[in-house]
Chain A
């Protein structure tokens, strides 16, 4: 089955600790995204990557870091600098640079999410 997986489903972070959320896709998509969801709010973009070894900051990148060493994987690290990390984190992917051209409809497909809680 093709899709996006995220792990773990729940993650607990202690004060001053860095934690890493996993996101893997087997859809052969070039583009991958990380969003943060807080109750009663829409999704806010943390980072996105259009191709391996390249990524750009989204609207709320401070306190987060990412890497894109493989096409299939886009892990997100929540660093100790992120003072309010409790949230639901969603990873998504889309066809990206392989799209036929500008204006091509490009659905983002989402993983099941990771809920991060602070101890």
Chain B
């Protein structure tokens, strides 16, 4: 079945860039998503990318998709303490009605 993998932890200094990586196995994914979860809260959609795109930029966020290597990344420029959260990547498998497969999440800690 589909599998999505992320590293569990990432620490960066305030003002630096953060890069959160994700690999997936399903080559028929149509959309890939990044969600943010703050402590004790639900998931908030940050951005998504269509599988025929290589890059998408939205203010401080840049998503890169390497479809050949099945690798997705989220770059956060000028990382702030408010960016500390868990970040989930998810893929929407075209073969299954509207189901998302989530990675295990990356805990981003921003150090002052």
Contacts and interface: CB of A to CB of B under 8 A. Distances in A.
A45 B31 contact: no
A106 B92 contact: yes
Interface string A16-47: 00000000000000010000000011110100
Contacts of B41: 112-113
Nearest to A44: B102
Most buried by A among B40, B43, B99: B43
Contact of B42 (A40, A58, A113): A113
Nearest to A3: B42
A84 interface: no
B20 to A, nearest CB: 14
A64 interface: no
Contact of A103 (B33, B43, B94): B94
B8 to A, nearest CB: 7
A110 interface: yes
Interface stretch (B11-19, B44-52, B56-64, B71-79): B44-52
B100 A108 contact: yes
B44 A110 contact: yes
Given A105-B48, A106-B92, A113 B98 contact: no
Contact of A50 (B31, B98, B104): B98
A90 B103 CA distance: 15
Most buried by A among B8, B42, B104: B42
Given A107-B48, A112-B42, A96 B31 contact: no
Contacts of A41: 104-105
Given A31-B98, A40-B8, A42-B4, A90 B42 contact: yes
8 contacts: A6-B42, A42-B103, A42-B105, A50-B97, A105-B31, A107-B48, A110-B35, A110-B43
10 interchain residue pairs of minimum CB distance: A42-B102, A110-B42, A110-B43, A43-B102, A42-B104, A112-B42, A113-B42, A111-B42, A42-B103, A105-B31
Interface of A: 4, 6, 31, 40-43, 45, 48, 50, 58, 90, 92, 94, 96, 102-103, 105-113, 115
